[in-house]
A and B are shown apart, each in its own frame.
Chain A
Amino acid sequence: EAGVAQSPRYKIIEKRQSVAFWCNPISGHATLYWYQQILGQGPKLLIQFQNNGVVDDSQLPKDRFSAERLKGVDSTLKIQPAKLEDSAVYLCASSRDRVGDGYTFGSGTRLTVV
């Protein structure tokens, strides 16, 4: 089966600019996750979708980050405006069921804010 697709792979923006990331999960996977991985740290969950509904967005900085999952398939994560501390790899993952018994991750988008 095809893996989790993410784009772009790399993005460099200036602070206060906006940026968007796209994710296409594995076909049939109901649950989709966006994680933020800062250099030298483990991934941290930003938001979890079950189909097109939000299950957990408790760690999403809602004043600048937003995410949507239209029609329960593709998802976009947006940052507006970006700050220097947003520099990280943004990972998308999907799983077949809500329990999350093992995810499949995409390759990630490396964001650098200058």
Chain B
Amino acid sequence: GDSVTQMEGPVTLSEEAFLTINCTYTATGYPSLFWYVQYPGEGLQLLLKATKADDKGSNKGFEATYRKETTSFHLEKGSVQVSDSAVYFCALPFYNQGGKLIFGQGTELSVKP
């Protein structure tokens, strides 16, 4: 069935370092792909999305490209800030079951000054 796999955390970086969080998926067809972010004590917020192959989603300096050939949607940011410390979730909708979102297990990012 459809599934999402994320790299395990936690990831600890210094401020201004380059960030990559890997996400690969298994799906029937070509669903939209999402990255959500969860700041401490808060609910999930949509960070970015891509709706078709080769699309690049971007927001707040974060980017992710929908790679059909490698079934990946890796999250990247060129220079992280302390305020980016959060848990990041990759997700895809399971269209065969009403469009529910399936989430990866989450990757915790901690950015040190």
Interface residues in chain A, defined as those with a beta carbon under 8 Å from any beta carbon in chain B: 4, 6, 31, 33, 40-45, 48, 50, 55-56, 58, 91, 93, 95, 97-108
Contact = CB atoms under 8 A, between A and B. Distances in A.
Interface in B54-113: 89, 91, 93, 95, 97-101, 103-106
Interface residues of B, number: 25
Nearest to B95: A99
Q: Residue among B41, B42, B43, B49 with the most chain A CB within 10 A?
A: B43
B11 to A, nearest CB: 14
B43 A102 contact: no
Nearest to B32: A101
A42 B89 contact: yes
B106 A100 contact: no
A13 B41 CA distance: 20
Contacts of B32: 101-102
A103 B106 contact: no
